[in-house]
Structure 1
Amino acid sequence: LSLIYGVMGVLNFAHGALFAVGAYVVATSLAGQTVGIGGFLLAALVGAVIVGALGFISERAIFSRLYAQGHVINLLASYALMLILDGLIIITFGPGIYQTRPPQELTAPLRVGGVILPSYAVFLIVVGLTVAVALWFMLDKTMLGIRIRAVAHDRITASALGVRTRWVGAGVFAMGTALAGLAGALAAPQLTVAPGLDAVYIIQSFVVVIVGGLGSIWGALAASIGLGLITSFLITYAPGWEAYGMYIAIAVVLLLRPQGLFGRTKLQGA
């Protein structure tokens, strides 16, 4: 969500629905079976590729025609796309509830000293950090990243200098949506996959990017970790208040630092 906004200036309301598609792909393909980590990751990658393709198609068919129309029109277009995807999810997967299990290798708890940790949760943290570092390396250390940052800084000048801005935009959209699909696919074992899943996820996503700072990759990472810790603390020491933790955090941040913790409006080098 931060990647797409930082480069393309689009707050994508359909992000939650794309997350849900990734979760549905894994939940339906595995059908409640416990498989090895190889089979699970293959299903997750298939989900990410499918969602990335949906993102690429939607950018070429819809958003590429609307960038000059301003944020409001793009926001409405993404909301319409969300409604379409919600309908397609029900048509494709049905109104039923799906559940799946973590890979066999990640079902046993992990003991670190005297602390017992759920191994799948540790796996998700490792994957999340790995993706964040890979994204940072791509944006800051590669020619593709230089082109992406050039488009984020000044689309017209980048085009004049020979950057194929429309394909960079489509690639960024595909990359951002593929990451949403991957997140949904990996989160599926911890979720009840059912219609309406996207509504919960998109609220959490917007809270994270607003607290972290719109367009800041590292801000989104820091905010997601911080909000996760706050939620876990409240679940343990103040049961019943965890639902309010995110909203209290966003209220405090908006009062003290309206631009977010990292305060970027355009994607820049981390």
Structure 2
Amino acid sequence: AESYQPIQSPSFMPLVMCPSEECQRNKSGGRLYLQTRGSKFMKYQELKIQEHNDQVPVGNIPRSMTIVARGEVTRQAGPGDHVSVTGVFLPMTRTGFRQVTQGLLSETFMEAHRVVRVKKMDEGEEEGAELSNEEIEALAQEEDFYEKLASSLAPEIYGHEDVKKALLLLLVGGVDCTPHGMKIRGNINVLLMGDPGVAKSQLLSYIDRIAPRSQYTTGRGSSGVGLTAAVMQDPVTGEMTLEGGALVLADQGVCCIDEFDKMMDGDRTAI
């Protein structure tokens, strides 16, 4: 005999005796075994999303939410991506003894129906921002094209022409090359040094806002583990996994570290 058992949670207790009326009436014994050929398996993924820093009210910390994706909705985004999720907001049900001790408070999650990666810029800033190929070629022919692009970075900050040019090159990036089999990285690292109150942090915040993929952190409260990676236990499978820090989330992008001199020497070496 075959019996189909629906699974509603990551863990389940397999049936030992057949629950059909015929087996209950005949009181026939026997053990049930899992038939993988007749079972239905579905891809499952849990995501943890966090709201943008520029949308957090003053004095609060960014809120986070668990996203459950099934089927073809899985593997639509990676760590550090900016996503737009459409789904159903549901309470997380408990089974067994946890259901008795749960009480009136319940954890919540969102069952994702659609996950789309989006750009980091606001919608109002993206309207009319795209240029045609002819317009880009016309701008590139101008003599002061480099100066115009540099001055467009943080236009509310006066001066700092050389600093803005360096940050512009940082956003554009270099080209990786391998002469004679030796790889030369095209990454550009910029260190801003100066007196307090000369808009260093404001320039970092502007770069963090306009870069397609970026992370902003401060050296005073950051550790080497928080910047690189930390070993964590997966709450679903119980296995030990690596949880990426600021540098991992900003991979192929820009990582802005403010107050770099306030970091501990050991944490600075971990970078």
Report 1 or 2 for greater relative contact order, CA contacts < 8 Å, sequence distance ≥ 6. Answer: 1
Which protein has the larger Cα radius of gyration, Structure 1 or Structure 2?
2
Could you say which structure has the higher strand fraction?
2
Structure-2-length-normalised TM-score: 0.21
Structure-1-length-normalised TM-score: 0.21
